A and B are shown apart, each in its own frame.
Chain A
């Protein structure tokens, strides 16, 4: 009976696969490869498989984590290559191992938020946005689970921020809280759009770069 953790990349065409669809997709990938997942007990057994941190549709990631259980003793060596033969385009396993750290220790996310400006980056945008996001508080409206709108301050969930400028592109490199509570990196762009409407980007692209723990060390 082995618990295993799979580290994988999700990018390109695959970023539009939703959480639930990705779950189904992985179940099938394992079956194609011939790996039998351990199933829950009960009247309707289902395979034991879960993502550490669900990823929003449309966002790419270099560091997705999938936990699952198999019926045999194995350490996961060689599994990424074996699974990759059966993946849809844009999903690629990079590592598989027996997990030592519980998912709750996954505290932060290093991520990249691209703000694309078709007409070129407005003068001083990088400084303005940095000032805004690193200010005392950054309040935005967010829909709650009860569908009401609530004000939340995202500032406490932003741990570091760098902004790089290229022609037509501002890249925010940030470390944000991953869970309890976590923030969707897309909110950085949303905050800029609300508070600095004149600097609103034409398109926003988000990519998770690395999962980190509380101390900022890489979480595996």
Chain B
């Protein structure tokens, strides 16, 4: 384990140097401040695990999970120290925490702010931080409801999810990524400035391939038990978010046109936002009912084919869940895109029109870029919705079936917890990692902008 500690300490030093330098500060100071975080960070996970993953009788899979946990602890500590440390040591770096200086503040009441913060801090500590720590503990134990003992099982609850295998759908994007990376490198070398944007296009392609490869790599690490759950979560989430955003933006563009009665249209479009995910599930449960549902009746009137039964057909079941979720979230998306479209400069659009830009060019080069912040906000809120709230829709609509086709991460967590709560806790932390990955991607893409969304 000692070489691992040395590696994370060096990683911390390198990250600290890079971060401090990018802020225009001394790289050496950054390295000295962040290296200890890399050295001590792994203890966050290794102490509670009692380093059990590196005991001699443990298998290769346990060692691998242990290494990931080790690196995870180091990464959390390095990120925290680097972020907070840089914010403290660079002037004005703490966001706008102190904007406006001290004018207008209450000065001679040292106890008052703590009294005001006690309710918020107590509830966050007791009902959010503590359960998260407790989830880590549960995930390393065998916990059966009503059982008197909760034996420590090291990382068995995690290794139960795993079973890596090399699949074509991982190899193909990885190979394509390699080709694109090399091609982008070559193209940049030979790029004639201002003449072609092949290099830029290749870089964008490379970005998309990186996401694809990471997702495929993650999927190929999971074993036969959890992989379908992961894939289902991906399908339901990307379907809900991508189609929902595209349709929502299209409708928002229409309803933002200066026409009479647009506030009536807006209200008619937006109110399904108030309906709950379980009730969306109930509505579509009846609409798509295989015997009596109106959807099948309409489908069979309009087309020569028979509609499959969504309670036995895996593909249709997923489609119906996605349709129900899009229907429910569309109002929220439209609401925010309308607000964003009011923000697009009309002078700029009129100028573009005079210069001969057609409607598509105006949309592609002016409207879409100015909506980027709102798009990121909506992606994150809708992904969060798909991860956690679609559970209610699934519960009433399909119950996770047919044969697990709509059992997403959250549904599976609740399902496996009836046996061993530790399994559910391990699944929860895998989902937590997915949430953190989305958040990190958003941070990277939007700079340090934080959206205090719902």
Is chain B a partner of chain A in the same complex? Answer: no
Chain A residues engaging chain B, CB cutoff 8 angstroms: none
Chain B residues engaging chain A, CB cutoff 8 angstroms: none
